[in-house]
Structure 1
Amino acid sequence: MTHLSPISRAACIGGGVIGGGWIARFLLAGIDVTVFDPHPEAQRIVGEVLANAERAYGLLTNAPLPPRGQLRFCASLAEAVADAEWVQESVPERLDLKRRVLAQIDAAAPPDALLGSSTSGLKPSDLQEGLAHPERLFVAHPYNPVYLLPLVEIVGGQATAPATIARAKTVLDAIGMKGVVIAREIEAFVGDRLLEALWREALWLIKDDICDVETLDDVIRYSFGLRWAQMGLFQTYRIAGGEAGMRHFLAQFGPCLQWPWTKLTDVVDLDETLVEKIGAQSDAQAAGLSIRELERIRDENLVGIVQALKAGNGGEGWGAGRLLADFERRLQAKAEPAIAIDVEAPLALVETRVSPAWIDYNGHMTEHRYLQVFGDATDALLRLIGVDLAYVEGGHSYYTVETHLRHLGEAKLGETLRATCQILASDDKRLHLFHRLFAGPDGREIATAEHMLLHVDTHAGRATPAPAELLSRLAPLAGAHARLPAPPAAGRAVGQKRAPLAATA
């Protein structure tokens, strides 16, 4: 398997919430990572973050990830960065500490290694002071959880070379992240400037007893938070302007900026009383859930949102969903050719997991997702015989014209699913398939599906014989499968009494 990224070795200095997220993001892109963090619990913390990240990726995408990179903890900073192509610094947000750590990295890392800082507010020019190679330092400010949220603000300092910014963006894009280049360096950059304004106003609302923390969070998550998940501030307000667009919105609501609504110019005093007030309300809101439990809930919610966005815009994807779709296409393109397939048994062509977006009100995988997995199995078979994207774009494809699906069992969140495909019959126009779906480590059979497909000329809109080249790829599979026992459920009618289940395959 080739690497997703132009780099194959990264070093992470600091393994806390943000550093651990970077470690997971690099590892899951197939990049080897060395880590230095003097915290006595660093390995445990990183291990827990990585476990959450792997669980989230299993729910996020079915695309073939590269083999996970190798993780190694080092006894010294110099050892960690000695062979790195990208060094990510994620130590606490103190200028003196960051300068000291960055100077050590600068002295020990290879001269051409990229040097990113996870700072959320310090200007890169201030961080470059005293470095021997300031041209390779830049801010790479991510958002938590780094392994799921794709945005990274890339900010160069006065001495940062343009080539450094370009290289950093290339690496981030390759591992599924969205590197946005901020044109000028300012404290807190763009994202945190916006968040700080909202945070400051929120503190006043709590201090003045306008609402409690749960009410404030509800106002966000049930309203504009949902809008922001798929459109930013300005595009949302463009729509709010109606057919006249943004200009009408500004004309209508611009005068409100002069009204004395906000306390943004005043800084709330975070005294002990207010800290305790917010802390107690936050404890009540958590209702006993641990931080790790809240992280898993957050990850599942984010996965569901991103997958919904991937299906948006007529299937083209939107926002973070389009980014995921593009990332998956690159994963598919870089995947190694399929290993030799055992044609003397039903073809095991699809393995996936039950995503949060697939769960219904009963807490199980909803019914149309069974058909989706079976459709993926059909697509995998078609790709195997040459019906790929280029073939479809050329004006021919197979269309499913009849389906019979049986639901035999339930699938729960996160369970592994495996679909097999048996060719029952074929000729120059028709393809008759039988799929079986198995779930969980015990491989219990939870569904079957029987499909009839026709080869079609998509331009003419009618069935047409498949070309000889395609049929020559299909023939060995169909011939081998003709020697297999016919599935007992093949040819069943709806409502027919169920036969005893066959042994799992």
Structure 2
Amino acid sequence: MKIAAIGGGVIGGGWIARFILNGHDVRIFDPHPEAERIVGEVMANASRAYERLFQAPLPAPGKLIWSASIADAVEGADYIQESVPERLDLKHKIIAEIEAAAPPSAVIGSSTSGFKPSELREGAKHPERIVVAHPFNPVYLLPIVEVVGGGAAADRASEILTSIGMKPVQIAKEIDAHIGDRLLEAVWREALWLVNDGIATTEVIDDIIRYGFGLRWAQMGLFETYRIAGGEAGMKHFLAQFGPALKWPWTKLMDVPDLDDRLVNMIADQSDEQSGMHSIRELERIRDDNLIGIFHALKANDWGAGQSVAQMENRYYARGVTAEPGYPLRLHQARVGGSWVDYNGHMTEFRYLQVMGDATDAFLIHMGLDEAYRGQGLSAYTVETHIRHLSEVAAGERITVETRLLGHDKKRFRLHHSLLREDGSEVATGEHMLVHVDTNAGKVVPMQDVLLAKLAEIEALDLATAPLDHAGRGIRELRATEAAA
């Protein structure tokens, strides 16, 4: 699939990063004199975030291709993301240039936060293929995207964006500023009044959000949160109890404070005092790490945005990573992060096990034990592990895992993982015995034929390769020593 990006600022750069990190080449046009630096810094933060967010092996990143013109960028494109400044006249000019060079079948998605599709389509040759695809920052992490415009183009855009881990929400009726920004503007407008009237500082307002309802919103949104607030009687009770308060003059949502120099300077000074000790790039990394922690918690509970992470990981596992054709299987790679090393600067023991566990998960998907299979209440549990530590590994190194199937029967199988540096030298090996279980009954049961057939196919490959002299030896020797004692 050919992707083009017109505009590489905060939002455009986030789109570029998400497409590239999901394996797509992106042609970009941005006349800004520092566009390459800005996009490069966004890419660096996005790559750092992805390696922390996903356990699954990531696809090989796509290429970033700089174009000298809009025409060059969009030639032959299947999907085009426009992210230029919020000026309707400018967007009309850019869309006209896109349409003059792009294939008629190309879908054009606009990142606009305020303009309606009907406004963007004015004067277009193929208006039906222009849709709003409005994301939220950081685009490479936050999955939601508002898709407005309807028709085949909206469906195609949603399909493409889903494939890169987004959660498209198609909005049936167009409205200024769509949905997300209208909600944000209501909170923003009230916050400006609170600062203007000397009731709160920027830090106080941010603390109330991030230590309070912001945590609830991150995982349950607005209506589900209030459903709980209604107690056992639910939403009807909540509305009956708190609905009358909506008529009280608590807010100033219909008025906007005058953003004169006094208020602008007050907000800027308070913001500098609150966060000025960090650069923008540092704040972005702090934000990303916090979001990743929330995503991991939500993923563990199979809830909200965590479901988007889990779905994307399943796609990555299903895709697999095969550095070379043939056998042993290469299904997982990992880069050693800074948090993976100890005081000696070497990868800690439990990270070896994590890499092998991730490689085992990749193998399970490869053999057919995927999300659909697990949905039947069946899975595989590791019951025995033996690791040999052969070499030290430093932060920043990339590890490739070679996996062999050492044998299987109807209820169990044994895997061997070899962790390799980029030069091919062996870092560690691990052996893992897994049993097939009925998770509902809590007992070992025979595998279904689809898994047994795949295991037989893989085992035939292993039997054709040289045996491993150390395979199983450590555990056998340990048991013999214990028996003798």
Common fold: TM-score over 0.5: yes
- Does 2:16 match 1:23? yes
Alignment counterpart, residue 323 of structure 1, candidates 288, 308, 316: 308
- Does 2:94 match 1:101? yes
Corresponding residue SS for 1:308? helix
- CA separation in 2, counterparts of 1:109 and 1:465? 51
TM-score, length-scaled by structure 2: 0.82
Corresponding residue SS for 1:91? coil
- The amino acid that maps onto 2:357 is G
- The amino acid that maps onto 2:178 is F
Contact 1:176/1:323, CA 8 A, preserved across alignment: yes
Match of 1:47 in 2: 40
- Does 2:321 match 1:332? no
Task: Tell me which moved more, 166-175 or 66-75.
Answer: 66-75
Corresponding residue SS for 2:220? coil
Contact 1:429/1:466, CA 8 A, preserved across alignment: no
Give, in angstroms, the shift of residue 145 of structure 1: 1.1
Contact 2:323/2:330, CA 8 A, preserved across alignment: no
Give, in angstroms, the shift of residue 340 of structure 1: 4.3
- Does 2:286 match 1:301? no
Task: Tell me which moved more, 279-288 or 478-487.
Answer: 478-487
- Does 2:275 match 1:286? yes
- CA separation in 1, counterparts of 2:306 and 2:447? 37
Summarize deviations over 1:397-418 as a string: whole Å, max 9, x none.
Answer: 6543345779999999977566
Alignment counterpart, residue 122 of structure 1, candidates 115, 120, 129: 115
Summarize deviations over 1:228-281 as a string: whole Å, max 9, x none.
Answer: 111110111111111111101101111111112112122111111111111111
Match of 1:186 in 2: 175
- The amino acid that maps onto 1:11 is A
- The amino acid that maps onto 1:131 is A
- CA separation in 2, counterparts of 1:359 and 1:249? 50
- CA separation in 2, counterparts of 1:305 and 1:395? 27
- Does 2:207 match 1:225? no
Contact 1:404/1:449, CA 8 A, preserved across alignment: yes
Give, in angstroms, the shift of residue 32 of structure 1: 2.6
Give, in angstroms, the shift of residue 289 of structure 1: 1.2
Q: Would the alpha carbon gap of residues 189 and 443 (structure 1) be closer, same or farther in structure 2, given more than 3 Å must change?
A: farther
- Does 2:157 match 1:143? no
Task: Tell me which moved more, 265-274 or 409-418.
Answer: 409-418
- CA separation in 2, counterparts of 1:334 and 1:127? 37
Alignment counterpart, residue 195 of structure 1, candidates 174, 177, 184: 184
- The amino acid that maps onto 1:50 is M
Corresponding residue SS for 1:153? strand
- CA separation in 2, counterparts of 1:358 and 1:237? 40
Match of 2:249 in 1: 260
Contact 1:457/1:464, CA 8 A, preserved across alignment: no
- Does 2:124 match 1:131? yes
- CA separation in 2, counterparts of 1:358 and 1:262? 48
Q: Between the two proteins, what is the percent identity of the paired residues?
A: 58
Give, in angstroms, the shift of residue 94 of structure 1: 1.5
Task: Tell me which moved more, 88-97 or 246-255.
Answer: 88-97
Q: Count matched residues.
A: 474
- CA separation in 2, counterparts of 1:287 and 1:234? 35
- CA separation in 1, counterparts of 2:117 and 2:62? 29
- Does 2:400 match 1:400? no
Contact 2:143/2:166, CA 8 A, preserved across alignment: yes
Summarize deviations over 1:279-307 as a string: whole Å, max 9, x none.
Answer: 11111222421111111111122222222
Task: Tell me which moved more, 192-201 or 134-143.
Answer: 134-143
TM-score, length-scaled by structure 1: 0.79
- The amino acid that maps onto 2:317 is Q
Match of 1:89 in 2: 82
Summarize deviations over 1:148-173 as a string: whole Å, max 9, x none.
Answer: 111111122xxxx6122222111111
Q: Would the alpha carbon gap of residues 140 and 276 (structure 1) be closer, same or farther in structure 2, given more than 3 Å must change?
A: same
- CA separation in 2, counterparts of 1:180 and 1:465? 39
Q: Would the alpha carbon gap of residues 479 and 11 (structure 1) be closer, same or farther in structure 2, given more than 3 Å must change?
A: closer
Q: Would the alpha carbon gap of residues 374 and 266 (structure 1) be closer, same or farther in structure 2, given more than 3 Å must change?
A: same
Contact 2:56/2:362, CA 8 A, preserved across alignment: no
Q: Would the alpha carbon gap of residues 111 and 252 (structure 1) be closer, same or farther in structure 2, given more than 3 Å must change?
A: same
